[in-house]
C-alpha cells in the first residue's frame, strides 16, 4: 500500500510502498477515505522523537474491509471514524479517561501507525460508526471539532455567555462555530495573523483583534461589558496567549488551556486568586466530545465543511506538509484517498 512515512535521514515525509497491515484479533482493518492534517502532527514532526518509517495521521475516516476474530461491534463495510487514544486496560481508561491513557496507546501519535496511508488497523474500542448521511470527508473533521468541544465543555461555556478564543487555527475556528451554534452571546478572537483574523470574523467572532495592538486587552474587556468575557479558550499554544487569557477574562471567569506549548510562563497567583479565575487544562478528546462533534457535523454540514480549505492526494502530502510546517496558512487540509 502507499503511505507517507517519516524519513529520519531526509527529515521529511516520503511517499513509499509499505506492507499492508494485518488486523490482530481485536482490530479492524480500515481503508482510509480521508485523513486530516493536525497541528499536533507538526509538533510531533519537529520533536525529534519520530522513529524512521513512522506513519502519522490520527484524524481518520474510512470503511472497514476486514475484522479480527474478537471484533463484535463492527463488520466489514461499516463506515467509521477513529477515536485516537486509549489502551482500554489501564486505570485511566477504566475510569473513563482513555484520552489520558497511562500506556499512551494512540493512533498516529503513539505506538499505532496512523492514517497517512491507504490502510490502517485500529482496535475496535477506538472506532465510532459514521451515519450514512455524513460523508467520510466530513467525518474526518470529527477529531478537530471534538477538541474544540472538549475545551468548551471543560470551561463550562453555556448559551447566553460571552467567550473569546486565542488562536484562530482549525480548532479555534471550530470553537467559534460550535459556540455560535450553541447560542453564545458575544464572541471574540485574538489572533496574530491577519488572514486568520478574517477567518475568525467569518466564523462568528464579532470582536477580532491582534495581540500586537497596544492596549488590546483593555479594548477587549470594554467590548465585553467592561469586565471581560465569561470564558477564554486558548488554542494558540503560546505562553503570552495563556497569560493574556488569564488577564482578560472577567472575575469568576473560566479559562481553558487547549493549545500545547513547552514555553515557560510566569504567573502571579494573587492576580488569579483575587479574581477567582478557574483554569481548566484540556488534552485530546473524550468519547462524548466525538459524539458531540459528529452530531454537529450532521446538523450543520455546510458550517463544518467550511473548515476544509484544501483537499490533496497522498503524493502531494510531503510538499504540502513541509509548507505547513514552514508557516503556510490554511484552514483544515484533508488527504483524500477515495470518495464513495
Does the pLDDT value for residue 84 go beyond 80?
A: no
Percent of the chain surpassing pLDDT 70: 100
pLDDT of residue 99: 87
For the segment 94-141, what is each residue's pLDDT rounded down to a tens digit?
888 888 888 878 888 888 999 999 999 999 999 999 999 999 999 999
Q: What is the DSSP letter of 19?
A: P
pLDDT of residue 86: 81
Whole-model pTM: value is 0.94
Domain 145-281 in CATH 3.40.1280.10? The answer is no
Summary mean pLDDT of the chain: 94
Is the distance from CB of 233 to CB of 258 less than 8 angstroms? Answer: yes
pLDDT of residue 98: 86
Domain with CATH 3.90.180.10 in the chain: 2-141+307-336
Q: What is the DSSP letter of 117?
A: B
Instruction: Write the DSSP string, 51-80.
Output: PTT-----EEEEEEEEE-TT--S--TT-EE
- Would you say how long the chain is, in residues? 340
Q: Which helix (H) or strand (E) holds 3?
A: strand 2-7
Beta-carbon contacts of 269 under 8 Å, excluding residues fewer than 6 positions away, are: none
User: For residues 338 and 172, what is the distance between their CA atoms, to the nearest angstrom?
Assistant: 28
pLDDT of residue 234: 98
For the segment 299-314, what is each residue's pLDDT rounded down to a tens digit?
988 888 899 999 999 9
pLDDT of residue 261: 83
Higher pLDDT pick, 183 / 84: 183
For the segment 153-170, what is each residue's pLDDT rounded down to a tens digit?
999 999 999 999 999 999
Beta-carbon contacts of 81 under 8 Å, excluding residues fewer than 6 positions away, are: 60, 61, 127, 128, 130, 139, 140, 142, 143, 290, 294
Q: What is the CA radius of gyration of the chain?
A: 20
Q: What integer is the mean pLDDT of 64-78? A: 96
Q: pLDDT class for 4, splitting at 50, 70, 90?
A: very high
pLDDT of residue 49: 86
**Which region among 51-55, 108-112, 289-293 has the lowest average model confidence (pLDDT)?**
108-112
Higher pLDDT pick, 322 / 87: 322
Q: What is the DSSP letter of 106?
A: B
pLDDT of residue 188: 97
Higher pLDDT pick, 74 / 261: 74
Higher pLDDT pick, 303 / 4: 4
Domain with CATH 3.40.50.720 in the chain: 145-281
Judged on CB neighbours under 10 Å (0-12, 13-18, 19+), 151 is buried
User: For residues 132 and 226, what is the distance between their CA atoms, to the nearest angstrom?
Assistant: 47
Is the distance from CB of 140 to CB of 334 less than 8 angstroms? Answer: yes
Q: What integer is the mean pLDDT of 262-287? A: 93
| Assigned CATH for 2-141+307-336 | 3.90.180.10
Amino acid at each position: 500500500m502507499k503511505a507517507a512515512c517519516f524519513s529520519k535521514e531526509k527529515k521529511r515525509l516520503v511517499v513509499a510502498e509499505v506492507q499492508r497491515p494485518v488486523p490482530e484479533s481485536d482490530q479492524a482493518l480500515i481503508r482510509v477515505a480521508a485523513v486530516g492534517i493536525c497541528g499536533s502532527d507538526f509538533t510531533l514532526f519537529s520533536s525529534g522523537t519520530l522513529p524512521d518509517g513512522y506513519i502519522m495521521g490520527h484524524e481518520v475516516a474510512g470503511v472497514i474491509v476486514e475484522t479480527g476474530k474478537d471484533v463484535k461491534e463492527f463488520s466489514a463495510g461499516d463506515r467509521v471514524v477513529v477515536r485516537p487514544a486509549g489502551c482500554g486496560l489501564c486505570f485511566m481508561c477504566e475510569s473513563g479517561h482513555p484520552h489520558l491513557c497511562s500506556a499512551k496507546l494512540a493512533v498516529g501519535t503513539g505506538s499505532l501507525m496512523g492514517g497517512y496511508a491507504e490502510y490502517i488497523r485500529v482496535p475496535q474500542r477506538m472506532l465510532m460508526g459514521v451515519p450514512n448521511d455524513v460523508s467520510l470527508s466530513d467525518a474526518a473533521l470529527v477529531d478537530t471539532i471534538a477538541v474544540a468541544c472538549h475545551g468548551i465543555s471543560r470551561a463550562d461555556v453555556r448559551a447566553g455567555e460571552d467567550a473569546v478564543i486565542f488562536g484562530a487555527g482549525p480548532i479555534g475556528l471550530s470553537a467559534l462555530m460550535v459556540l455560535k451554534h450553541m447560542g453564545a452571546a458575544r464572541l471574540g478572537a485574538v489572533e496574530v495573523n491577519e488572514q486568520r483574523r478574517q477567518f475568525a470574523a467569518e466564523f462568528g467572532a464579532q470582536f477580532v483583534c491582534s495581540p500586537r495592538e497596544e492596549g488590546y486587552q483593555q479594548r477587549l474587556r470594554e467590548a465585553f461589558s467592561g469586565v471581560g468575557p465569561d470564558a477564554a479558550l486558548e488554542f494558540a499554544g503560546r505562553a503570552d496567549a495563556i497569560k493574556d487569557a488569564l488577564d482578560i477574562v472577567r472575575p469568576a471567569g473560566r479559562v481553558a488551556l487547549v493549545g500545547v506549548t513547552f514555553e515557560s510562563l510566569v504567573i502571579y497567583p494573587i492576580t488569579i486568586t483575587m479574581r477567582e479565575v478557574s483554569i481548566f487544562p484540556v488534552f485530546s478528546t473524550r468519547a462524548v466530545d466525538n459524539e458531540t462533534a459528529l452530531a454537529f457535523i450532521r446538523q450543520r454540514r455546510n458550517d463544518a465543511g467550511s473548515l476544509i480549505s484544501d483537499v490533496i492526494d497522498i503524493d502531494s502530502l510531503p510538499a504540502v506538509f513541509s509548507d505547513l510546517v514552514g508557516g503556510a496558512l490554511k484552514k483544515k487540509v484533508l488527504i483524500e484517498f477515495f470518495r464513495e
